[in-house]
Amino acid sequence: MSNTSNIKKAEIQREHQAGPGLNNAGQPVTGAARTPVTWVSLGAMAYDQALDRQMRQAQAVLEGDDSQTVYFVEHPPTITIGRNGTSEHILAPKAYLEQQGFSVYEVDRGGDVTYHGPGQAVLYPVLHLAPWGNDVGRYVRMLEQCAMTALSYVGIRAERLEGYPGAWVGDNKICAIGARVKRRIDSEFVTSHGLALNVNPNLGHFSTIIPCGIQDKGVTSVARELGKDVEFSEWEKRLKDAFAEVFEVEV
């Protein structure tokens, strides 16, 4: 085989390893074919039902299904405790939580204690990460950017806060990030869980916990930052558009 053929073969192999839409450094390539993603709207759904839905999809992907899926959902009042969390960060008595209709779950994701509830837009991306360089750190940053991009559509400037995952407006968290990854047999990562953006939730519900175990920071919402009522229904499209923009996918 000629040297030219060997070089061409090596170039093709590197392109395949980088994944669709990426160059050899794992960066997006403008004009490249976009990865198709299925967007599933679950509406308002109990946490355990949505968890079962995404875990079944994640298991299918771990076993070789190459589909890429994002679930959009809104939960009733729910507290989840991540792998790094503790029930000590739940401040409200159990009887009060039951009276107010809260559910509490221990879950297999990163992070500490998190609140979900009406008015909060939740995304659960179930993805295999080859198209994004199989880079978990990059994936988390892209989730943060997705929230920040969606917020920019309405003039809210959210930023990262060093040492604290999520999207922040000053010292107040507006979007929480909590991801889980597992490896396929070929070492490709598969994701579950995701992000929770505070659109117009009852911010008083956050007083039932120490959000993400962080005692010296606050929480905020789109409604609070804009100083007016907002339509929750408009935020699915904003997040969908932001996800397509940041992840460079066809949704």
Per-residue pLDDT band at 35 (split at 50, 70, 90): very high
Q: Report pLDDT digits (tens) over 166-218.
A: 999 999 999 999 889 999 999 999 999 999 999 999 999 988 887 666 667 89
Strand-pair partners of 178? 194
DSSP 107-166: -SSSSSEEEE-TTEEEEEEE-BSGGGTT-HHHHHHHHHHHHHHHHHTTT---EEETTEEE
pLDDT over 90 at 126, yes or no: yes
Of 1-15, 30-44, 115-129, 207-221, the one with minimum mean pLDDT is 1-15
What is the overall mean pLDDT for the chain? 86
| 174/189 Cα distance (integer angstroms) | 27
> What domains lie within the chain, and their CATH numbers?
1-31 (no CATH), 34-250 (3.30.930.10)
Q: Report pLDDT digits (tens) over 39-70.
A: 999 999 999 999 999 999 999 999 999 999 99
Model pTM score: 0.84
pLDDT over 50 at 30, yes or no: no
Which residues are known catalytic residues? 212
